[in-house]
Structures are given as structure tokens and as C-alpha cells.
Structure 1
Amino acid sequence: MTDFGRLMTAMVTPFNDKLEIDYEKAKQLIEHLIHTGTETLVVCGTTGEPSTLSNKEKLSLYKFVVEQVQGRCKVMASTGSNDTRSSIKLTKEAQNIGVDGILLVAPYYNNPSQEGLFQHFKSIAESTDLPIMLYNIPGRSVVDLTADTILRLSQIKNITSIKEASGDFSKIAYLLEQAPPGFKVYSGDDSLALPILSIGGYGVVSVASHIVGKEIKTMMTTFLDGKVQESAKIHRKLLPIFEGLFITTSPSPVKYALEKYGIPVGSVRLPLVPVTKDEANVIDSLLNKLHGSWK
């Protein structure tokens, strides 16, 4: 079974001044993320602005990341949508490119039933040999995968994990208790990475790792080594930046923060807009405080 590691990063999509994909910037970003502890790059996930990317752009970016990584970390392609047939087609094309896994978000807007959700994911899983991570994010997709539906899906051989961003700890604990051996639950929220790890979760699909990847990795490693209080202290230090990077719709804040860190990734495509001056000031303050706390 493919191990995607504890720290996965939902990578932003770098753009140039014309808001086209900037592959030179992407190269710099990839190297930065690998250097700071990312074990799997998630390409064209929510943080990568997939709803504004064409399938041609997505496939081009998958290919570029696979070639740039050269096996130094895993590459997971986000191919989910609210159209099962389109998702199957993109998944097959991503597999041909050579990605290591597939991320499938719960289909948004058309509000399927739990049976519809099950059949959607089952159909896509049957179209590929790659390991699949489900992505439950009711705050964006409207629908919420129930524990029973996730457990049904976990019986499918190549559905091996879930990125849980519901914040429902009772459900997560139930999943961890009832899912088949080897099925992994990842936090979809940086602020819940340690709490979910503490009840048996495996890791995090992170946004903040663009900025504090080494610190997040240390937080998890320290916890797993049994140094709970030390790990909790790191979590408390990181919490303001975890929350600050969502002061407005992601990925606008993290793209701004990367620019401040000397890793330019360009702006965001409409309908998203860059951070305001006031939002930028808040992020600047958080970054300055964080930097000082680690001296």
C-alpha cells in the first residue's frame, strides 16, 4: 500500500502576471515544499484553485510536478468534480501521466444523496488502480459524507484514506474505530491536525505547510515520540498562523504569505481576489510574531 506520509501539502497553483500557470514559480515552490518536509504534493486541490483551471491546465501541471519531483515525494492529483463521468476521464488521464494517487472531493452544488455519493466514488475508484483519498469538506461542497457512507467506501480496495474537514470529532473517532486496518484519516484543517492525531488520525493535508512545514512536521513527530506537552506547545505557537491563513478565502492569504517569504506565486483568479490591505497587515503581524517566537 502506498504511504503518502504524515505531511501532505495542498499546493497552490502559481500564476504569472497574466494569471497563466507559471512553471518556473512552480519549480521554486516544489523545491521549497520538499525541503521543508512535505511528503506528498496534492496538485489542483482546493488550494490550487481547481474550479478556475481547465482540464488541459490540470493535466499539464500534474505532468510538470511529477517530472520535477523525480520520486523525491509522492504526487496526488485532485481529479474530483461534481460530474462523475468527467472525473473518471480526468482520473484515467492523471494515472497515465504517472501520479501516485488521486484525491476525490465530495461532489459539490448538485447535492447528491448518500447513495449518490457512494456510487460516485465507487464508479471513479473502479476506473483506476491508483490509491484514492476521499475529501469531505461540507463547508464548500454542501454535502457531508456520513460515517456509514465512508465506512462503505473504505471496503473498496483502492479507497485507502480520507481527508476530513468536517470538524466532527465524534464521526472521526467512529471511523478510526470501525474502518478496515490500514485505512487512514487525515485532518483537512491545520488547526485540527494535532487533535485528530491524538485520537488515532494519521496526518494532515496542510495549507500552512507552505509557510511552516518544518514546524508542523516537528509537531507531529514530537507527538508520535510521546512528547505530548512539547507537541502541544508547538501547536499553540502555530495556531494563530493556522487561523490567519484563512482570514479570507484560501488561497489568497497563503499566496500573499509566500510572497512575503520570498517565494512569489502570483495572485488568484476571479472570482477570488487578493487580500485587502487590512488583511495583509494582519498576516504580516502574525508572520512577524511567529518568526520571533522561533528565535
Structure 2
Amino acid sequence: MDLGRIATAMVTPFQENGDIDFEAAGKLIEHLLSNGTDSIVVCGTTGESPTLSMDEKLQLIRFTVEKVNKRIPVIAGTGTYNTKETIEMTKKAENLGVDGVMLVAPYYNKPNQRGLYAHFEAVAKETALPIILYNVPGRTGTNIEAATTIALSKIPNIQVVKEASGNLDQMAEILAKTDEDFFVYSGDDALTLPLLAIGGKGVISVASHVVGNEMQAMIRAFKEGRLDEAAKMHQALLPIFKQLFKCPNPVPVKYALGKVGFSVARVRLPLVEMTEEEKRQFDEVWEHVKQSI
């Protein structure tokens, strides 16, 4: 499965009454298509999936598939801490026409490595779709160790891992011990360039909502051997990457989208919007970075 260099983990816009704002979602999809996004992940963490009901997830997946209309791949986040429910959600997403699914490591119940393998294997057996493993220990409390990812890569439809462990050594081991048709993507915008340097494919990004073209330019410079230029672009973008995670994701990126014409700052509890001081700090960094890139 080719996600391209940048897959955007899309936010979910909400109306004032808290319902999904499909009109805003449609406009956002068009914005992403025009601003550096090679594929879209819907109903991921950045889409506030923990607060979306199954019906809402299915509505949003259906809408995104129809709106994108095969212009780029659409990936649905279908993973939960419940294997049976994950299989059910994955099958429903498959029926809606997604190009692949992303499965987060089961959270809260904290399975061991054998349990993680068994969970992903069970889901893979029930779908023909390509699967992205999503390793984010900071959210799940469990790290999918390199050996487990390497073993899972032998299952034909498990084709990608989104590594948000922040551990480049772990990513390097996965790259060294998996086949060339298994891809490692960064789950952290700030590690996009470092991961590319050790053989990774790209990033499943939050920042691409607002600096997608700039990130593509950085990646292009790296791929074309303009390493100093790529490094300078990384350095210029790094303050934005950091600001986008100063508050719980996706609160800052929803605020940042206001800078490019999208009024989508509303989030669902237990998340809350940024304070005025947090906004001021973000604005300072935003203005500085936009002048330097």
C-alpha cells in the first residue's frame, strides 16, 4: 500500500451543537488535497476517535470515501482495545470502500507482546484490506516491540507501521529486518526527516494540515540530495511541530487551521480549547515560522 510521503491524520470538524460538521469536513478534504497530502487517515486520534460513536465513525468514513472519490488513498482508523469490536469496525469500513485500515495497539488493557501479535493477526485474518499498525506507547501504555512488528510484517496484508514511539533505534531495527515492501512511517512530525535518513518512507502527519506543502518541499529536497536545504527546512518547521503538541492533540492544530481559513477549533470533552495565553504563544511561533519558510 502506497500512502505517498505524507498521509494526513485528518481532524473532525464539529458544529456548535457538537455534531460532525460535514460541510466543513468536505472543504477541509479539498484543502488537504491541494496542500501536500498524499493520503488521508480518517477517524484516527487526531480525528478525536475516542469521542466518536461507531455510527459517527461510519458516517465520516463513508463521507470521506465519497468526497475523495479515489483521488488519493483513504485509510480508516478502526482499532480499539477490543479485538472483536475492531474486527467488526474493520469489516464495516471495508464495505464502505476504504483503501486500508489503521489499527492502534490495544490501549488500557495493556496486552503483552504475544497478546499484541494475536490481536493484529486475528484482525488481519478477517479482512483483505492492507493494514497499518499504529504504535503510540504514550497513548496506549504499551510499546509494540521491534521483534513483534517484524513478526507481524510477515502477514501479507500487514504492510505498514506508524511509529510514534519516538525511538529511532527501534525504527531502524524494524527497517533492517523487514522486507522492502514493508514501510515505516513516522507518527511524529518532528521525526520525519530523521526517519527518512535511516530509510523510512514518510510521515502520518498532523502538521500537514497547515504546512503540508512545506513538508513536501523538505522531503523533496532530501530525496534529491539537497541535504543542507532539507535540514534547514526541518529546523525552520520544528517550532511549529512542537507547538502543535504543546496542548493535547488535536486542540492546537484545530486552532492553527484558523490561520488558513478554517473555523474548526471546537473539540469534544474531555478536550478543551486553548486558553488565550496558549493562543498568544502559538501566534508568536506561527508568525516567526511563516516569515522564515
Is 1:125 aligned to residue 120 of structure 2?
no
CA contact (8 A) 1:76 1:102 kept: yes
Cα deviations across residues 180-227 of structure 1 (Å, max 9, x unaligned)?
A: 221000000000000000000000000000010000011111101111
Aligned length: 293
Give TM-score, length-normalised by structure 1. 0.98
Q: Corresponding residue for 1:151?
A: 150
Runs of 4+ in 1 over 4 A off after TM superposition: none
Q: Corresponding residue for 1:221?
A: 220
Is 1:270 aligned to residue 280 of structure 2?
no
Offset of residue 171 of structure 1 = 1.0
Is 1:73 aligned to residue 76 of structure 2?
no
Q: Secondary structure at the match of 1:161?
A: strand
Q: Corresponding residue for 1:138?
A: 137
Q: Corresponding residue for 1:88?
A: 87
Is 1:5 aligned to residue 4 of structure 2?
yes
CA contact (8 A) 1:17 1:266 kept: no
Offset of residue 264 of structure 1 = 1.7
CA contact (8 A) 1:19 1:266 kept: no
Offset of residue 260 of structure 1 = 2.7
Q: Secondary structure at the match of 2:185?
A: strand
CA distance in 1, matches of 2:216, 2:127: 31
Give TM-score, length-normalised by structure 2. 0.99
CA distance in 1, matches of 2:135, 2:115: 14
Offset of residue 266 of structure 1 = 3.9
Amino acid at match of 2:274: V
Amino acid at match of 2:154: Q
CA contact (8 A) 1:4 1:40 kept: yes
Q: Secondary structure at the match of 2:238?
A: helix
CA distance in 1, matches of 2:60, 2:155: 28
Offset of residue 16 of structure 1 = 0.6
Cα deviations across residues 12-60 of structure 1 (Å, max 9, x unaligned)?
A: 0010101110000001100000000101100011100000000100010
Offset of residue 290 of structure 1 = 1.7
Q: Corresponding residue for 2:104?
A: 105
Amino acid at match of 1:186: Y
Q: Which runs of 5+ in 2 are unaligned?
A: none
Q: Corresponding residue for 1:177?
A: 176
CA distance in 1, matches of 2:18, 2:250: 14
CA distance in 2, matches of 1:273, 1:239: 24
Q: Secondary structure at the match of 1:186?
A: strand
CA distance in 1, matches of 2:231, 2:77: 31
Offset of residue 261 of structure 1 = 2.1
Q: Corresponding residue for 1:161?
A: 160
Offset of residue 169 of structure 1 = 1.2
CA distance in 1, matches of 2:57, 2:77: 9
State the identity as a percent.
52
CA contact (8 A) 2:251 2:265 kept: no
CA distance in 1, matches of 2:269, 2:259: 22
Offset of residue 229 of structure 1 = 0.6
Q: Corresponding residue for 1:56?
A: 55
Amino acid at match of 1:77: A
Cα deviations across residues 235-292 of structure 1 (Å, max 9, x unaligned)?
A: 0000000000111101000001112321122410000000111110111111111221
CA contact (8 A) 1:101 1:130 kept: yes
CA distance in 2, matches of 1:167, 1:69: 31
Amino acid at match of 2:128: D
CA distance in 1, matches of 2:213, 2:195: 19
Q: Corresponding residue for 1:232?
A: 231
